[in-house]
A and B are shown apart, each in its own frame.
Chain A
Amino acid sequence: MTAVIEISGLCKTFHSLWREEKTALDGFDMVVEKGQVHGFLGPNGSGKTTTLRTLLGLLRPDEGVMRILDTPSADFGDVAHRVGAIVESPAFFTPFSGRKTLQLLATAGGLPKGRVDEALTAVGLRDRANEPVKVYSLGMRQRLAVASALLKRPELLILDEPANGLDPSGIHAMRTLMSDLAAQGVTVLLSSHLLSEIEQVCDSVTIIDRGRRVAHGPVSVVLAGHDTGEHLVRVADTEQAARLLRAAGATVRIADGALFVGGVSGPAAISETLGQAGLWLTELTPLTPDLESVFLDLTGTRPVPDAPPQVAVPTRRRPPADNVIDLDVRSEEQA
């Protein structure tokens, strides 16, 4: 497949006279292939928006190579008409109406006026288009931002948190829109915190943490890479069941009155072992990982009891250390 976005070794440090320098990107890599809906995940402050801003020429990188639509990002101007993007929270001049806002962009881009209504309809704002943006809810502003990105009929759509502030029907509509665009051959790079949405709509994913890629590849492969093969088992006598399963060669841990059993060939082996001893199962569930659990594990943001998770403090650049978990699923797969 053809890559439409290629980022390699991207570094960006923010310097300030008054504050400590802040490394946002520390050798970040990403590849987005043509026709994909690609999810871009990371905790707050991990470098997602900095990556997108750098890719779109709004920030100057310190190091690294970036290509967008087969063009060096330094020449982004040559392909800007093929890229629709929203970055972070949408910024509009609020006294203008939604229609006026898009008309100005269409005029600046030399686009026909008809595109404005087309984009407004696509995001469900047609009937509210003449109201000033200041009366729009956050979700409506988000829809307007997506409309501004769609105005160019882009080949590549870059959306930073497009579902932010949307109601459930808006989220559903956004998901449908992404799928429709992908079906039309539009490549979508989608940064979001809604992991279930990413899991449903994306073909592939990149996870970033503290400025570095920690996992990437097709969603199913990333999830499979974190499948421990454990099963959740509930029985009346957990202590005896644990002894029997350990004796059968399984690894067992007990938590919250349930057994977490690994190292077995499948659920049948568990039911057979316990059934032969007269222990009857009340629950036997294979523990398949979802994107949220993978994300929490990889980014070290899984909540700990009595210790609310804190947003990571920006760091200075780190040496390319071994302690960074790099689940390079693609490489493994290709190897």
Chain B
Amino acid sequence: MNLVRAEVSRLLSRRFTHIMVIGLLAVFGITAATTLASSTRPGSDAWVAAEQTAAERRTSLIQFKANCEAAFRQDKEAAEAAFAGGCDAAGDPADVRPEHFLEDAFVFEQEIRGLTIFLAVYLSFFAFVIAASFIGAEMSSGGITNLLLWRPQRSSLLGAKLAALTGCVVLFSTLFTVLYVGAFYLIAYTSGWTGDTGAAFWGELLALSWRGIALSTAAAACAFALATLARHTAAALGIAVGYFLVWEAGARIVFEIGGMLPYDPYFLSSYLSAFVGGDLKYWSGLDGSGDLVITRLSGGMVVAGLTAALLAAAFANFRRRDLT
């Protein structure tokens, strides 16, 4: 416990941690300020306009569905080609609500899902960088050697560092998510529109937020493991950047040029996206045929499995490594 306390103190005393947190808050501040500046509380004129646009949209959808059904009655083969997604593909007119068309207002119910996914991505990025630096600096400077002269139990020492790091990341991510969601709710409440925020909405938002927190914690743990294995902060960051440049960007282009579908299952980003955002659909044909799916569960399993494998490798390596 003493060791965990010391490691928490070490993490929180690091200037790099302070700089990254300030950076995180700055990004949040800019996003919130931009939203606040561009949003106005809808007046009666705005509601009338929105109501009108919604009515037009409903009419359009009803018309689309009628045309589609008529086409299928006349010539099924031709209709299948023209309406590949079916007659309900454009949406249900009953789901069209006026707040969807409030042009100058920030509608919390509409926007917060995308903003929370963005939050998950940037919390994960910051957690990755802070974690890599936290352990990488210790490994490359020899600070870890000093500590081992005090606590020669290598696994316990590394475990305490990991516990301190992930504990801080979970706590910080949770508090920051509350601040983030709360701030945007307040913006919508005062200068926009909160929308239909029932129990189901909050339940879904809570689950999404937890997945974001889990992803940032997994990112921290993976960075910790990579920096432990590679012994340097820069090496861990290099591995991550290299992976995303060479495989996620480069290989994806090669797959696309070669028409080698489906390629989505070969990319980690597909699983990350499925885990946070929900089931990811992809296709086995260039014409959009043969739709397949990476489920949220399989995305979560890949994230958990990768994290566990990297941590196991890091602990096994550190336990036996010569510290020169």
Complex: A89 Cα to B141 Cα, angstroms: 10
Interface string of A65-95 (1 = CB under 8 A from B): 0000000000011001001011111111111
Complex: A150 Cα to B293 Cα, angstroms: 61
Give, as a whole number of angstroms, the nearest-CB distance from A233 to chain B.
51
Q: Could you tell me if A96 and B13 are in contact, using CB atoms closer than 8 angstroms?
A: yes
Give, as a whole number of angstroms, the nearest-CB distance from A329 to chain B.
31
Q: Could you tell me if A91 and B153 are in contact, using CB atoms closer than 8 angstroms?
A: no
**CB-contact partner of A92 in B2, B3, B141, under 8 A:** B141
Q: Give residues 84-132 of A contacting B (CB, 8 Å).
A: 85-96, 100, 103-105, 107-110
Given contacts A58-B322, A60-B322, A91-B145, contact A107 B9 (CB under 8 A): yes
Q: Give residues 132-151 of B contacting A (CB, 8 Å).
A: 137-138, 141-143, 145-151
Q: Could you tell me if A108 and B147 are in contact, using CB atoms closer than 8 angstroms?
A: yes
Q: Could you tell me if B149 and A85 are in contact, using CB atoms closer than 8 angstroms?
A: yes
CB neighbours (8 Å) of A266 from chain B are: none
Q: Could you tell me if A57 and B152 are in contact, using CB atoms closer than 8 angstroms?
A: yes
A148 at the interface (CB under 8 A from B): yes
Interface string of B297-324 (1 = CB under 8 A from A): 0000000000000000000000010111
B73 at the interface (CB under 8 A from A): no
Interface of B is mostly: helix
B10 at the interface (CB under 8 A from A): yes
CB neighbours (8 Å) of B320 from chain A are: 60
Given contacts A53-B324, A107-B9, contact A95 B146 (CB under 8 A): no
Give, as a whole number of angstroms, the nearest-CB distance from B139 to chain A.
10
Q: Could you tell me if B3 and A108 are in contact, using CB atoms closer than 8 angstroms?
A: yes
Given contacts A77-B152, A80-B152, contact A104 B10 (CB under 8 A): yes
Task: Name the residue on A nearest B146 (C-beta).
Answer: A91
Task: Name the residue on B nearest A84 (C-beta).
Answer: B149
Q: A60-B320, A91-B142, A95-B15 are in contact. List 17 more A-B contacts (CB 8 A).
A: A56-B149, A56-B152, A57-B148, A58-B322, A58-B324, A59-B324, A80-B150, A80-B151, A92-B141, A92-B143, A96-B13, A103-B9, A104-B9, A108-B2, A108-B7, A109-B150, A109-B151
**CB-contact partner of A80 in B7, B138, B142, B149, under 8 A:** B149
Q: Could you tell me if B152 and A59 are in contact, using CB atoms closer than 8 angstroms?
A: no
Residues of A within 8 A of B (CB): 14, 53, 56-60, 76-77, 80, 83, 85-96, 100, 103-105, 107-110, 148, 152
Complex: A14 Cα to B9 Cα, angstroms: 36
B66 at the interface (CB under 8 A from A): no
CB neighbours (8 Å) of B281 from chain A are: none
Q: Could you tell me if B146 and A92 are in contact, using CB atoms closer than 8 angstroms?
A: yes
Q: Give residues 1-32 of B contacting A (CB, 8 Å).
A: 2-3, 5-7, 9-10, 13-15
Q: What are 15 inter-chain pairs, A to B, with CB distance below 8 A?
A: A56-B148, A57-B152, A77-B151, A77-B152, A83-B149, A88-B142, A91-B143, A93-B137, A95-B15, A100-B13, A104-B6, A108-B6, A108-B150, A110-B2, A152-B150
Size class of B's contact patch?
Answer: 20 to 34
Give, as a whole number of angstroms, the nearest-CB distance from A63 to chain B.
15
Looking at A14, A83, A107, the one whose CB has the most chain B CB atoms below 10 A away is A107
Ordered nearest first, which 10 A-B pairs have the shortest CB separation? A91-B142, A108-B6, A107-B6, A58-B323, A77-B152, A110-B2, A59-B322, A57-B152, A91-B141, A104-B6
Q: Give residues 160-204 of B contacting A (CB, 8 Å).
A: none
Task: Name the residue on B nearest A93 (C-beta).
Answer: B143
**CB-contact partner of A95 in B3, B5, B14, under 8 A:** B14
CB neighbours (8 Å) of B146 from chain A are: 90-92, 105, 148
Give, as a whole number of angstroms, the nearest-CB distance from A130 to chain B.
13
Q: Could you tell me if A93 and B141 are in contact, using CB atoms closer than 8 angstroms?
A: yes
CB neighbours (8 Å) of A108 from chain B are: 2-3, 6-7, 147, 150-151
Give, as a whole number of angstroms, the nearest-CB distance from B254 to chain A.
31
Q: Could you tell me if B143 and A58 are in contact, using CB atoms closer than 8 angstroms?
A: no
Task: Name the residue on A nearest B152 (C-beta).
Answer: A77
CB neighbours (8 Å) of A83 from chain B are: 149
Give, as a whole number of angstroms, the nearest-CB distance from A149 to chain B.
8
CB neighbours (8 Å) of B6 from chain A are: 104-105, 107-108
Complex: A83 Cα to B148 Cα, angstroms: 12
Task: Name the residue on B nearest A105 (C-beta).
Answer: B150
Complex: A229 Cα to B196 Cα, angstroms: 103
Q: Could you tell me if A77 and B322 are in contact, using CB atoms closer than 8 angstroms?
A: no
Complex: A87 Cα to B151 Cα, angstroms: 15
